[in-house]
Chain A
């Protein structure tokens, strides 16, 4: 009888310890948020934005960016803050950065379109439109994850055939249909995801920029050279060459011109 009671006590204590261990993370979660954590700084920046203190909001968002943090929402909010401060070029720059991380965000699409309304980029070729659409289908991380899964599945199929030939091969010695289909599908998906991932990677690593302040693109990298065309804030350009404090940029319509480095923010 005594043993039974002792056993019950032990079970009760065990359950109590288990319960404590289960709720321990919840107790930890109730701790006050660290005010210098990136999430807290993000919230503070949002509060400044809501109060109309855009300069302060930009300072905090930028602090996070300078500390090496990134997220689509962070760049999006930074773009909004710059837009509110009247810095259209900076706004487009950060919207574009956000687009690489959250390409399908409807708010981002709307704000980018709004920021670009009235910005004359000098025409857009169909090829460029297709390229932009393809390279913004999904973030680079998504393609890498998908390719990694397809790659593992592809090898799983091959390994399965070697380990369990009876499962994957007909008595005639021919591979079974389901196995053949699996290999073809995973192989094709692997090829597709690797291709799209490579395109996205190349698209993101091609030097590109956004015009931050209005200026002229010149024929030569010399002060006083003839103006080729005018660049207004927000125009997205491809950076082709660098020469001292000058860079050679190409507008979406293909026109090239030299501008001072500080005129363009690199993506």
Chain B
């Protein structure tokens, strides 16, 4: 039993491991969703077209629907990387307001993604009379938007507030998003969501908690204070802000002590009022050339350390800008009178402040005085746009007194006035990016990182060595040395023996076969031991005693010639048995002599014995 459970667990584990390595395949698709399928006349809901895993998609064409007002709320994109695979979601948001009661069919909508058309499903939106149900009309600043339906009516609402209605591009403002909670039990609360292309939302932190009394009723208030930066010019409607939360609903007769056990948790989405805003572009007329890009109200503080230096020694300048506004795009203050200094690029760093409404940026810059005659550093100017006065302002810090002493070891290098370093005055800029990825490949895929490439390099060398060795072998074979002669003779003798055996098998023994074998052996002995073949007789065995150690071999040679003489001259019958015996004897002799030759060649013994 235990083994079975272990087996099942192992199977499960292996399945999980395998699944975790599987790379998911993300398909392209488009969906349509409605925040609420029923709204009151004058109320609104959000419609989203969610396109998944499409790199570039054109905005869907929504068109106009009689009885509804549809406004685009922008596009948001989200990218997720899971197990190395990237999935991408593009969401087109639309605010749909009901003008007339009725049922409206929304969709299907088509999104063009590259060469493909993705189509969403269709949904029905019901617009009912104001009196029945649905969220209230988007209210103006300061009003509240109750959530429809008992028992929540008027007990949970959200308010969005901004200090003014007109802003400038780049201006930063702190918004107030207040969630009012009355006589209900709030179970969970999520951060407010404001996805709007016209503003950049930052600093959505933990809410401040307080209590407020409205129309005699006490409310617990959660206040979120995010910073909004206006990034697009023009008129637009900010909001509604949405907050997801859940409340406990009592649907039992038990006393409140048991409420948490038996109450039902109901998820809700609360929407705030909307605000109509206007964002103006920064005025072009009167814009100073040294405008830093900062928008707000600021102060400039400059310090230098050390103020007493040797010629060529570094002085660190600290230029601190503090104030309310947007400093993220601000460039460093302009320093004049730096002709006699060598200047390094300033380094920008954001500092934390105790007051969250304040921003603080420090620019650190190193300058090297090149002349001993320098007595001051600066002055420093910082130009910004003040939205309160709608004018460009300039902060000036007078020159700082410094003492530069002459340095005898100082070697003057080329002075680089500050203006030259920026590059802009040289009429230069970056060349645009490349549209094509070029030879985009994995590092490991590069040919010279592959083992096959280096193995391929061996082929010419191997080919060369093979041909070289073969040629050497052939040359050796064709040379007129005793060894070469012996090898050739051996090959010829073998061929002749083979032919003799075949003829014996086919036609039977004949006198010519006897002569042929005699001729064959004599020729072999003649070539190998440098004798005249025709002059070789049975006495050859005695003569070869000085050249061949193997006595058995000599006896076999003697026996061959004895047999030859016997059949040739006595008239004895040279039958099949005798022929086969003689062929085998010849074969043994030639094989033995060849082995003897090899032995001599390898050991070098009797090396001169062939050259008679």
Q: Is the CB of B467 within 8 A of A159?
A: yes
Q: Which residues in A have their C-beta under 8 angstroms from that of B115?
A: 30, 32
- A residues 38-58 with Cβ under 8 Å of B? 38-44, 46-47, 49
Taking a contact as CB atoms under 8 Å apart, the answer to whether A148 and B457 are in contact is yes
Chain B: interface residue total (CB-CB under 8 A): 60
Assess whether B28 is interfacial by the CB under 8 Å rule. yes
- In the assembled complex, the CB of A116 is this many whole angstroms from the nearest CB of chain B, namely 10
A68 at interface, CB cutoff 8 A: yes
Knowing A107-B431, A117-B423, say if A38 contacts B437 (CB, 8 Å): yes
Is A72 located at the chain interface by the 8 A CB criterion? Answer: yes
Question: Does chain A have a CB within 8 A of B4?
Answer: no
A residues less than 8 Å from B296 (CB atoms): none
Our pick among A33, A77, A110, A214 for the contact of B347 (Cβ within 8 Å) is A214
* Contact yes or no, B345 A214, CB < 8 A: yes
Stretch from A6-14, A20-28, A150-158 at the B interface: A150-158
Query: B314 contacts which chain A residues (CB < 8 A)?
Result: 230
B88 at the interface (CB under 8 A from A): yes
Residue with the greatest number of chain A CB neighbours at <10 A, chosen from B113, B314, B437, B457: B437
User: Which chain A residue has the least Cβ–Cβ distance from B23?
Assistant: A36
Which of A35, A114, A118, A233 contacts B430, CB < 8 Å? A114
Q: Which of B79-87, B125-133, B493-501, B552-560 contacts A (4 or more CB under 8 A)?
A: B79-87
Mark the stretch among A80-88, A128-136, A171-179 that contacts chain B. Answer: A80-88
Chain A residues within an 8 Å CB radius of B440: 38-39, 42, 64, 69-71, 73-74
The digit string for B128-154, where 1 denotes a CB below 8 A from any CB of A, is 000000000000000000000000000
B416 CB contacts on chain A under 8 angstroms: 118, 120
| Nearest opposing residue in chain A for B426, CB measure | A117
For B368, the closest partner residue in chain A by CB is A230
Contact A71 B441 (CB under 8 A): yes
User: In the complex the two chains form, is B28's CB within 8 Å of A32's CB?
Assistant: yes
What residue in chain B is nearest A156 (Cβ atoms)? B460
A76 beta carbon closer than 8 Å to chain B: yes
Task: Indicate with 1 or 0, residue by residue over B392-429, a CB within 8 angstroms of chain A CB atoms.
Answer: 00000000000000000000010010001111001011
State whether B430 touches A44 (Cβ < 8 A): no
> Which of A63, A81, A145, A155 has the most chain B CB within a 10 Å cutoff?
A155
- Whether A46 lies near B435 (C-beta < 8 A) is yes
From A73, A80, A141, name the one whose CB has the most chain B CB atoms within 10 angstroms: A73
Interface hits, B421-476 → A, CB 8 Å: 421-423, 426, 428-444, 446-448, 453, 457, 460-461, 463-464, 467-468, 471
For the complex, is B191 an interface residue (Cβ under 8 Å from A)? no
Q: Inside 8 A of A148's CB, which chain B residues have their CB?
A: 453, 457
Q: Are B55 and A73 in contact (CB under 8 A)?
A: no
Q: Does A67 contact B (CB under 8 A)?
A: yes
| A89→B26 CA distance, assembly (Å) | 37
Q: A80-B433, A83-B430 are in contact. Are A155 and B53 (CB under 8 A)?
A: no
Residues of B within 8 A of A42 (CB): 437, 440
Contact between A117 and B428 (Cβ–Cβ < 8 Å)?
A: yes
Interface size class, chain A: 35 or more
Q: Which residues of A contact B295 (CB under 8 A)?
A: none
Contact status A162-B468, CB under 8 Å: yes
Shortest Cβ gap from A74 to chain B (Å): 6
User: Do B437 and A47 touch (CB < 8 A)?
Assistant: no
Least distance between A186 CB and chain B CB atoms (Å): 11
Whether B76 is near chain A, meaning CB under 8 Å from some CB there, is: no
With a cutoff of 8 Å between Cβ atoms, the chain A residues found around residue B422 in the complex are 118
Q: Are B55's CB and A67's CB within 8 A?
A: no
Determine if B217 is an interface residue (Cβ-Cβ < 8 Å): no
Are B86 and A70 in touch, CB under 8 angstroms?
no
* B187 at the A interface (CB under 8 A): no
Q: Does B366 contact A (CB under 8 A)?
A: yes
Q: Which residues of A contact B348 (CB under 8 A)?
A: 86
| CB <8 Å contact, B434 and A35 | no
User: Is A213 within 8 A of B347, CB to CB?
Assistant: yes
Question: Which 9 A-B pairs rank lowest in CB-CB distance, beginning with the nearest?
Answer: A118-B421, A73-B438, A155-B460, A73-B434, A71-B438, A107-B431, A42-B437, A71-B440, A77-B433
Q: Which residues of A line the B interface, CB within 8 A?
A: 30, 32-33, 35-36, 38-44, 46-47, 49, 63-64, 67-74, 76-77, 80-81, 83-84, 86, 88, 101-102, 107, 110-111, 114, 117-118, 120, 140-141, 144-145, 148, 151-152, 155-156, 158-159, 162-163, 213-214, 230, 232-233
Please name 23 pairs of A and B residues whose Cβ atoms are closer than 8 Å in the assembled complex, sorted by A. A32-B114, A40-B55, A42-B437, A44-B56, A64-B440, A68-B442, A69-B441, A71-B437, A71-B441, A73-B436, A80-B432, A80-B433, A81-B433, A88-B345, A107-B434, A111-B431, A114-B428, A117-B428, A152-B460, A159-B460, A162-B467, A214-B344, A214-B364
User: A144-B447, A213-B347, A214-B345 are known contacts; what are 8 more A-B pairs with Cβ within 8 Å?
Assistant: A32-B113, A35-B55, A41-B86, A46-B435, A70-B443, A80-B430, A80-B432, A118-B421
